[in-house]
Structure 1
């Protein structure tokens, strides 16, 4: 008699498991990272270009002026090689366990370091990078809009008075105008739905980079150009060097969204997602090289140590071209903001639905995303120190997630033989990344302090 309940118990248990799995699938189909897996290899190419070639490219000539020719070229080339290697590792690790996909950076971290520790190591760093990028891009978008407005105005003046046809508008308002676009775009559900925005952004990044170095060539080497370090004192030179390392680290920050981008590509045992993903990455890295190296080297060659922290500010003529380049930056940064915001939306929505048991509804998504965009806008308006922010965030969080966390995971999971090529190359990347992480925030913080002395809130 006592055994009759067993089949019922078993079927009840099976039923509850099936119910749980169905609920889990429903949530996964709703979350932005896992809701659509229909991306093609070229989606990977332009998502990666949009994620990587940010406004950071415009500060590379300035970074060169703080590093000097030898160290500058070495750091640029080394960063390109190391980050391509660590990106390859991330692509390989996405599906290293048969039948399982690590769709998010922190899921890979949990597999490498353990459930709890993996979360504690990866999530704070990934959030600092993504939220940090979103804040910096709010500032960049606002300032580029302002530069566009000022350039068009100074060009449209009739020569009377200051030659300006328009009234001066606060940077704060331009940041708000830029943010207004995101209050709309942030409600696109997932990566595939922003692919059009991302493609436009990728094309723009190549366009404004070309304008930046092309206009520099046209302008020609400036009279009395100097390539000596910017600072005159030894401490100044050292801190500038540190800060420039952060600028370079910031320029190579696409790794934070690479697993999430790969999660949108379909995968079967015969055709794993790493094939199309890697093809897209290679195309993206060629575009990165075409954007970064000419801008950094030609910009520095033309202006020397007088180049501004955004090369478009140094280039004042032809006015229509510089105005256009600034508008391209705005369009590019709109796409970049969305690429970096999507994993944050995914984290916020996962916590709300899985931990706090909210129903996965459109209203929940609307409120959560609107609050996030408003938060990044508020911080950007309060602290718009563009250059200092780049090198501070660049070293503090970009270096680990881009330069050495993938290597540590690779060593933890694959355990390559001691002193083998794989072992050595990973340790070289880890040491270089640690060096970046420790030194560049020091330089960035010093720049923020110097700029903050003369800064008025909400000006």
Structure 2
């Protein structure tokens, strides 16, 4: 009997050890499910967040700034974003970059390094900016849907036909699609959607580049200059200045992805250390993005010259090859469907975490209702997630329908979010984390970068507000026809 008990005791210890080993394999050091992200999945998330509707306005932006200003601005913003994104990556764990406590959100990073007041200011800017971006995507995706409809109309009825359509039905359809996708619970489940969206961004960028090259080679390229659109008939010196500043805002928008970097970094497995992997992902994604941006901006400008349109693809007309332009616009829509979710997930997470903190024992907050096909759970519905995210998508769609203009909204979003989120907070956290002395050479260089980027943001914001004012005088709310 004693031998049998010993055997049972040893067997129980083995089971316990096996269970503990299995448990340890399934969770990370913070007790959360083990992260599985790599440099490639992080790069896919970043590329999905960066290459969005902003790429379509780069030909117009280059036309306002000219060859010198356009190329220089693209390269300068790329360099600034790479530097400050790497500073942000070092703040994921604190106080030690490798073994310290994880900061799951941008706000947590700011609070850990700069304190409560800075955390609140960061949250206001970050979530307002993210919400603004998804409004921008809700405006942009229907423009591409209308372009497909318009292209098919011209092809069917002839080039002289009056083919004008409201984008409102398409905005509603886009919103309905996002209501369903918003039930994806978190960033960790978004990898497949980000991968598809990243592939789509490359696809439509390549089509735009190919069409621009064809136009240039065939001798139909527009008039270009070193300084861009020239002052003269139809454009005054003041208008030229406003346009240049709005173009800088457009480029800032095109590089706007700092708002989601911390959430992306929180998907990475370790070892190796998350900050090292994230820096590699930053490098890969920004190099890839800058190459595409240079090609889209420069070739688009060469193709259309100083008359480059706000949306590059619409400038190729709606005629032949109509099917290729249609395909590019379809790719844009698919990409923006995924990009919307990448940018909306931090907003969803914040709303839900605040609600859970307020009512931790509520069934409405905690209950999960799995929907199964056979023995496999397809999706798990949560009442808070279902209602809260649906209300958010509906509100975003209504705001987008009320704003029938594109470039000026993009410029304002870029201007408002670029300085605080991409420059100020990363620089200040780096100073605090590394205890850089006030007045030292490095401190002065970092503060100079801060100040110059603040001036750029303020100038671009002023120009975009002026542009929105003009657009409001010539447009009606809830009425947008292309």
Whether TM-score is above 0.5 comes out as: yes
Alignment partner of 2:421: what SS? helix
**Structure 2 CA distance, aligned partners of 1:105 and 1:393?**
18
Shift, 1:422, TM fit: 4.4
User: For 1:354, which of 357, 364, 386 is the aligned residue?
Assistant: 357
Shift, 1:50, TM fit: 0.3
Could you tell me which runs of 5 or more consecutive residues in structure 1 were left unpaired when the two chains were aligned: 1-28
Q: Is 1:262 aligned to residue 265 of structure 2?
A: yes
Shift, 1:402, TM fit: 1.3
Q: For residues 224-263 of structure 1, what are the structure 2 equivalents within 5 Å? A: 225-227=223-225, 228-229=228-229, 232-263=235-266
The answer for the alignment partner of 1:89 in structure 2 is 87
- Contact 2:224-2:302 within 8 A present in 1 as well: no
Q: For residues 101-250 of structure 1, what are the structure 2 equivalents within 5 Å? A: 101-115=102-116, 117-157=117-157, 159=158, 162=160, 168-220=164-216, 222=220, 225-227=223-225, 228-229=228-229, 232-250=235-253
Shift, 1:75, TM fit: 1.2
- Contact 1:65-1:230 within 8 A present in 2 as well: no
**Structure 2 CA distance, aligned partners of 1:61 and 1:403?**
25
Select between 415-424 and 46-55 the one with higher mean Cα deviation: 415-424
Alignment partner of 1:429: what SS? helix
Q: Is 1:427 aligned to residue 447 of structure 2?
A: yes
The answer for the alignment partner of 2:427 in structure 1 is 407
**Structure 2 CA distance, aligned partners of 1:36 and 1:129?**
30
**Structure 2 CA distance, aligned partners of 1:87 and 1:93?**
10
**Structure 2 CA distance, aligned partners of 1:137 and 1:223?**
29
Shift, 1:35, TM fit: 6.2
Shift, 1:399, TM fit: 2.7
The answer for the alignment partner of 2:343 in structure 1 is 340
- Contact 1:110-1:118 within 8 A present in 2 as well: yes
Shift, 1:396, TM fit: 1.5
Shift, 1:312, TM fit: 0.6
**Structure 2 CA distance, aligned partners of 1:114 and 1:104?**
14
Number of residue-to-residue matches in the alignment? 420
The answer for the alignment partner of 1:100 in structure 2 is 101
The answer for the alignment partner of 1:320 in structure 2 is 323
Q: CA RMSD in A?
A: 2.1
Write out per-residue CA displacement over residues 17-65 of structure 1, whole angstroms, 9 at most, x where no aligned residue. xxxxxxxxxxxx9xxxx76622222110100000111110110111111
Could you tell me which runs of 5 or more consecutive residues in structure 2 were left unpaired when the two chains were aligned: 1-26, 368-381
Select between 173-182 and 225-234 the one with higher mean Cα deviation: 225-234
**Structure 2 CA distance, aligned partners of 1:329 and 1:401?**
26
The answer for the alignment partner of 1:24 in structure 2 is none
Select between 431-440 and 129-138 the one with higher mean Cα deviation: 431-440
Q: For residues 56-67 of structure 1, what are the structure 2 equivalents within 5 Å? A: 56-67=54-65
Rg larger in structure? 2
- Contact 1:416-1:422 within 8 A present in 2 as well: yes
Q: Is 1:449 aligned to residue 452 of structure 2?
A: no
- Contact 2:45-2:195 within 8 A present in 1 as well: yes
User: For 1:38, which of 32, 36, 42 is the aligned residue?
Assistant: 36
- Contact 2:209-2:295 within 8 A present in 1 as well: yes
**Structure 2 CA distance, aligned partners of 1:403 and 1:321?**
39
- Contact 1:111-1:118 within 8 A present in 2 as well: no
The answer for the alignment partner of 1:73 in structure 2 is 71
The answer for the alignment partner of 2:291 in structure 1 is 290
Alignment partner of 1:214: what SS? helix
Q: 1:224 to 1:92 in 2, by over 3 A?
A: closer
Please report the TM-score for the alignment, with normalisation by the length of structure 1: 0.87
- Contact 2:221-2:302 within 8 A present in 1 as well: no
